[in-house]
Amino acid sequence: FCDSVNGLFFLWPGHLDSILSVLDSLFLPPERKRFYQNVSISQGEGGFEINLDHRKLKTPHAKLFTVPSEALAIAVATEWDSQKDTIKFYTMHLTTLCNTALDNPTQRNKTQLIGAAVKFLETDTVCYRVEEPAALAELQKNEWDPIVAWAEKRYNVAIGSSTSILGPNIPASTKETFVSHLASYNMWALQGIEYVITQLKSLILSMGLIDRHITVEKAVLLSRLEEEYQIQRWGNVEWAHDYDLCELRARAAAGTLFVHLCSESSTVKHKLLQD
């Protein structure tokens, strides 16, 4: 996974995802036999709650699982209701995001969440370009330039791109504009935005997705552009590629849906999912 030079260890980028996958498998909750028959939602003092039969769902930190939006509650309840004989926690991305928002394990406030999101601009995937090979450089220009141009026009900012290892020099005014924009979101939505950014490794792609300018499939493709180029050139382990692609799409879609549902103010009449 890494090479040693003068006693220092260097992790090659191509191996990072493999290591993260191993770590994910170690820390994911184990699968559990389904222990409930019916899933429903109800409105409490703090928001909407999830009921598994007659038991109220709680977070890993034992807090009452309460969400601010009825639509989000129904979406989470659907995750629980769709589990078959075994509860596969690693497929329940909306539940995981709600747990993070409720427990706030890193104890960050709104300013810190916004700062972490905007910091991604400094290493944004679509801003880092190559000079060689020429075919990849041309592909990056054709595929990434339009989304960068969209973001610059949409937010009235300068972003640019660079082939330097240091990346582009993002103006302070651009960062301030994104800070101001992100401040319009509530804490729950910001958790979702940061989640999408982490998946795509790009603030620009994430905002394009959340603003409905691009689809999930397009956002994921653009975030994996170099990897897809290498696969087309050298081939791949088909099942592994397909699995990674589907997983990334699922996480990006869940994060985007979470952002919108956390901003949803309308109510949905039918609370009971199952008779």
Helix and strand counts by DSSP (H, E) for the chain = 11, 8
Domains 32-103 and 110-235 in one fold: no
Return the pLDDT at 29.
Answer: 57
Instruction: Look at residue 15 in the predicted model and tell me its pLDDT.
Output: 42
pLDDT tens, residue by residue, 137-182? 999 999 999 999 999 999 999 998 999 888 889 999 999 999 999 9
- Average per-residue pLDDT for the chain: 87
pLDDT single digits (tens) 224-267: 999 989 888 877 666 677 888 999 999 999 999 999 999 865 44
Indicate the SS3 state at residue 253. helix
Q: How far apart are CA 265 and CA 275, in angstroms?
A: 26
3 state DSSP class of 9 = strand
Supply the pLDDT for residue 19.
41
Task: Please give the Cα distance from 36 to 31 (Å, whole number).
Answer: 15
Which residue is associated with the tokens 């141009």? 149
Q: How far apart are CA 266 and CA 264, in angstroms?
A: 6
- pTM metric for this prediction: 0.84
Query: CA 47, 209, 75, 35 torsion: positive or negative?
Result: negative
Averaged pLDDT for residues 93-120: 97
Q: Which CATH superfamily, name and number, covers 110-235?
A: ATP12 ATPase (1.10.3580.10)
Domain boundaries, the chain: 1-30, 32-103, 110-235
Q: For domain 32-103, is the CATH number 3.40.50.1370?
A: no
Residue 113 has pLDDT above 60, yes or no: yes
